[in-house]
Structure 1
Amino acid sequence: MWIDKHNGRRYPLPSSIGGKPVSFYLKNPKVSLLAKALYTAHFRPTDNDSTTQLLALVTTNSQEIRPFYRWCLDFTIAISDGALGEYPGKPALAYATKFPQEFFAYMDKDNTGGRYKSWVEIIAYSGLGSYNETMAATRQTLVDKMAENCTPCSDKTSRRIRGFANDVTRFRTKR
C-alpha cells in the first residue's frame, strides 16, 4: 500500500509490472533510484526537477525496464492534483508518440477505459504546450508522429491513432 503523505490517500501497489515481479525492478541496478523510491513511498512526485527527470524515463529504449517507468508515469497521473498536474502530460504524450502500439496495448489492459481517459485528459491539459497550431494541425501532427513510429501499423492501429488524436484535441478544446 502506498500512502500519500500529502493527503493520506491510500493506493494499492501492483506486485508485478509488465509481466515481471516488482522485485525484478527494485533489485535491478539499471532502474533509476527515483523510480524505486516512488514505488517504496520514499519519493512523492511534486512540481520539481526530480519529478521531471523521473517521468522522462518512460521513453527509454530499454524494453526490459520501460514497463516500470510507464507504471511510475501512470501512477503519477493517478495522484496528480494541483501543480503536479502540469508535469505528466508531456512525458505521457512522448511515450504515446514514440511507442504507439505499446501505448494502445497498455491502454487495453484496463477494460474500464479509465486509464485511457486519464491519459487523454492529462495530455490535453499539460502535454500539448509546444503545439501552438490550430487544433486541426495539432491533431494531424499527433497522427503523423505516431504513424511514423508505428511500423508495421495495421489499419486498426491507424484508426486508433486518429481516434486518440481526435480525443486529445477534442478534450483540449473543452477545457
Structure 2
Amino acid sequence: MGRVQEPRSGCPINATVEVFGDRWSLLVLRDIVFGDRRYFRELQAGSEEGIASNILADRLRRLVELDLLTREDTRAGQRARYSLTEPAIQLVPVFAQLGSWGLRHRPTSRVLRVRAELLEEGGPALWAEFMDELRHAHLGADLPPRSPSVRERLRAAYLAASVSREGR
C-alpha cells in the first residue's frame, strides 16, 4: 500500500481537510456508520450519490491507509469486510453537526433528513450512546444492553419517512 503524505502544514484544520476534503471519503464513512454497509458491493449499491466503483475502491484503500477503517483479510472468493476504527467512530459528533448545519442551510429531502434530525434532537448523549454501539459492532467492545438501540431508532425513523413518502 502507498504511504500517506505528510500534511501541508501543522494546522489541525488543514490536516483534517486533507483527509476529508474530497467528495467521497466522508460519504463512504457515513454509509458504514449509519447504513451498516461493510462490504464493497453494499457500499456501491446503497450509495444515494452513485459512487463509481473505481472511486469507491480508491477511497476504501485510502481510508484503510489513514487508519479510519480496517479491512479483513480474505481468501480467494471471499468478500472483504470493512470495520471502523476508533478515530472513525469519533466522527459521529462531526456527522451530527454537519447534518444539523445542512438541515438549516441546504435543501434536503424528508426521507434523508430524518437521521440528522434525530441526532440533533438527541444531542451529545445520543451521540455517545451511538459511538458505544459502533465500538461494540466494529471493535468488539462490551456494550450494556439498551433497547431500542440508537441504530434501531435511526432505522425506524428512516423507514417511517420512506413509508410516508410512498403514501403520498
TM-score (norm 1): 0.30
TM-score (norm 2): 0.31
